[in-house]
Amino acid sequence: MSVGISQRSRTSTEDGRIIITGTGRAGTTLLVQYFTALGFDTGFSMNGIFKEIDSFSHAGLERKLVDETNPYVIKSPEFADHLMDVLKEGRMKIFSAIIPMRNLFDAAASRRRVFKAGVQWGSLWKTKDPNKQEDMLAMQFYKAMYPLVKYGVPTYFLDFPRFAEDFDYFFRTLRPLTDVHGVTRAEAKAAYTRVVDKSKIHSFRALFSTPGKSKRGIEIVQNNLTAASDNTVSSNPNILLPHVFREKDFVDLGTAVESRYAGIFSPREEVSVVPLGVTAQFLENPEDFHHAATDTDHAQWLISTVLERISHVPENSLVLDVGSGSGNTAFALLRALRNPVILATDISRPLLRSLLTTAKTVKNGSSIVPICIDLNKPSFRDNRFDLIVGRAILHHLFEPDILIKNLYASMKPGSSMVFFEPYECGYAFFGMLLEMIIETANRMPGVSDEIITFLRGTSLSYQKCEPKPVEEYANLDDKWNFSRSYFERVADDLGAHLRIYPMYKSAHPYSGELAFRLKAGAGAEKDALPQWAWDLMEKWESRLSQDALDEMAYAVSVVFTKPAS
């Protein structure tokens, strides 16, 4: 500082105050901490500037604009609403203003991140619609700037996060202000080092780089609700559902139907609809099905295996689980991916209730959003999901190709859609082997009538890969076994890349499946069948190469990938 210039007090408000304002989420709290560390009167102690802020949003330390008890340095984005009237009426003196500025999308995305976490400080401002946050921040910025310009208030602008990362830039920009308060470079550097924590700065990147125009002509980034690839996908249903679904009015079933379904959402027009072709085990007695179908280790293995085969799923991904049931696949995805938000969809309210109950007990379970919906109807906006998974769902439908096509449009370019489904070739061959055992049992001892009945029912239960008349299949759960040709036709129509893998690669797939079915369906061990039956199975298995066994798998992973461009 030049000799002969008197120093201005760092505490006196006699000749006006220093105000800090702007859009917020741009380092305003950090500036209050910095000036406190320099000995300016901010109304907060050194201990208070760290304790009196929100631990998640790092927001706080705000003051009203007009208050005789205010300290020398005050800050709040809310000043924008009052500056014009206050300066016009001469109700306070402002010595200087500091306005940190941040990329408008980042400032809005930061508020959406806080809103998603359910935190009040630093959340959405002047709007309840996350899509409109840029608009409102731009308007508030104008309302802060114009009075300062109109009434000639000396104003300093800081680029955030640059000023929190580059001390030389920060010191140089504010030097005219700090010089008159006798702040040396060494003093400024010490205070800066004491309060800056770069780990608290979050980076957001918009997926769409082409700016659009709001109704007021302010340039904004379009479709920014969850368009950012980092940190902006929200599991808050009020944000997520309008982003994902087209023109759907959703209701909480806890209010619309029964309190036990609270936290499950459904389109209003579907609340009273009874879905066609869905049987009682999914709608009326789902707890029984839930216990029979629960196998978390198996679900985890399936998801881990398929994730190794598909393109990279990014952090903070948006994932659709089709036919979630009680949540085995959703929870496996939650564990396998990095910070996903999972839309868990199913037609069964009771099964989703089981899912929601479990979600409340697991880490990050709130990232799973249960939706009771019929996905056979076009519902989703385009280019939304980073991954779609459906485990044992297509074979329950009358027209599975329609669902695949509806979902495909909602995939982001480069993303994958995975289904785990029964395969006709494998089940037909498996059925023929069972018939051989049944016929041989007529002349060979060792097979009980109960097991014969079970094998006969199993051999007849598989379905062909062909259209299903509604009147014949409405009360049948398993309506399809699929073929490669079926999925290839669908993929060709969509222009999708298609890969099909056996779910269980084994030299003895049919023996293994029979042992599983005896245990799961009849409560019997392998010794329920004599050795000759197992020898017969293995004889036919040994006649096929591993490639042929893979082609004749009874269950497959089907992966549709949307071209990146």
Phi-psi category of residue 484: left, alpha or beta, with phi > 0 → left and psi -120 to 50 → alpha: alpha
Give pLDDT tens digits for 485-523.
Answer: 999 999 999 999 999 999 988 999 999 999 988 998 899
pLDDT of residue 123: 76
Do 434 and 403 share a structural domain?
A: no
Do 379 and 437 share a structural domain?
A: no
Q: How much of the chain, in percent, has pLDDT values that exceed 90?
A: 54
Burial class of residue 335 (count of CB atoms within 10 Å of its CB; 0-12, 13-18, 19+): middle
Centroid of chain to Cα 71: 43
pLDDT of residue 202: 56
Is residue 542, in this structure, part of any structural domain at all?
yes
User: By the 8 A CB rule, do 462 and 427 touch?
Assistant: yes
Q: Domain containing 259 — which CATH number? A: 3.40.50.150
Peptide bond into 161 cis (omega under 30): yes
Residue type, 10: R
Regarding predicted confidence, which is higher, 176 or 120?
176
Do 431 and 369 share a structural domain?
A: no
Do 477 and 503 share a structural domain?
A: yes
User: By the 8 A CB rule, do 193 and 185 touch?
Assistant: no
Strand ranges, E, within 223-278 = 250-252, 265-267
Out of 415, 448, 482, a domain closes at 415
User: Whole-angstrom Cα distance, residue 251 to residue 278?
Assistant: 22
Domain that holds residue 157: 17-198
Do 251 and 138 share a structural domain?
A: no
Centroid of chain to Cα 463: 36
Q: Which two tokens stand for residue 200?
A: 């608290």
Is residue 209, in this structure, part of any structural domain at all?
no
User: Whole-angstrom Cα distance, residue 560 to residue 500?
Assistant: 9
Nearest to 409 by CA among 256, 519, 244: 244
Farthest-apart Cα atoms in the chain, separation: 118
What average pLDDT does the segment 266-287 reach? Answer: 64
- Residue 75 — very low, low, confident or very high, per pLDDT cuts 50/70/90? very high
State the distance between the two ends of the chain, measured CA to CA, in whole angstroms: 59
Q: Which two tokens stand for residue 301?
A: 């293995």
User: Whole-angstrom Cα distance, residue 64 to residue 70?
Assistant: 8
Do 396 and 252 share a structural domain?
A: yes
Out of 367, 384, 415, a domain closes at 415
Residue type, 280: A
Do 551 and 508 share a structural domain?
A: yes
* Strand bridging mode 318-322 / 341-346: parallel
**Domain total for the chain?**
3
| Bridge partners, residue 558, by sequence | 419, 500
Do 432 and 410 share a structural domain?
A: no
User: Which ranges in 495-542 belong to alpha helices (H)?
Assistant: 509-522, 531-542
Is residue 216, in this structure, part of any structural domain at all?
no
C-alpha atoms less than 13 angstroms from C-alpha of 190 in its C-beta half-sphere: 9
The model carries a pTM of 0.59
**Mean pLDDT taken over the chain:** 84
Out of 415, 441, 473, a domain closes at 415
Centroid of chain to Cα 78: 31
Is residue 42, in this structure, part of any structural domain at all?
yes
- Residue 277 — very low, low, confident or very high, per pLDDT cuts 50/70/90? very low
- Residue 185 — very low, low, confident or very high, per pLDDT cuts 50/70/90? very high
Inform me whether the pLDDT recorded for 209 exceeds 60: no
Is residue 154, in this structure, part of any structural domain at all?
yes
- Residue 275 — very low, low, confident or very high, per pLDDT cuts 50/70/90? low
- Residue 58 — very low, low, confident or very high, per pLDDT cuts 50/70/90? low
User: Whole-angstrom Cα distance, residue 276 to residue 257?
Assistant: 20
User: By the 8 A CB rule, do 75 and 28 touch?
Assistant: yes
Q: Which two tokens stand for residue 407?
A: 């979902």
Do 265 and 184 share a structural domain?
A: no
User: Whole-angstrom Cα distance, residue 92 to residue 84?
Assistant: 11
Do 45 and 194 share a structural domain?
A: yes
Inform me whether the pLDDT recorded for 198 exceeds 90: no
Regarding predicted confidence, which is higher, 223 or 85?
85
What average pLDDT does the segment 102-108 reach? Answer: 81
- In sign, the C-alpha dihedral spanning 147, 148, 150, 151 is positive
pLDDT of residue 548: 92
Is residue 214, in this structure, part of any structural domain at all?
no
Is residue 56, in this structure, part of any structural domain at all?
yes
Do 163 and 40 share a structural domain?
A: yes
Nearest to 438 by CA among 462, 460, 416: 460
Do 274 and 191 share a structural domain?
A: no
Is residue 210, in this structure, part of any structural domain at all?
no
Phi-psi category of residue 74: left, alpha or beta, with phi > 0 → left and psi -120 to 50 → alpha: beta
Backbone Cα Rg of the chain: 32
Measuring CA to CA, how many Å separate 501 from each of 72, 401, 440, 506, 555? Answer: 69, 19, 33, 12, 9
Strand ranges, E, within 257-333 = 265-267, 318-322
Tell me if residue 400 falls in helix, strand or coil: helix
* Strand bridging mode 368-372 / 341-346: parallel
The number of beta carbons lying within 10 Å of the beta carbon of residue 6 is 7
Nearest to 400 by CA among 492, 486, 458: 486
Per the listing, tokens 């010089």 go with 179
User: Whole-angstrom Cα distance, residue 255 to residue 481?
Assistant: 39
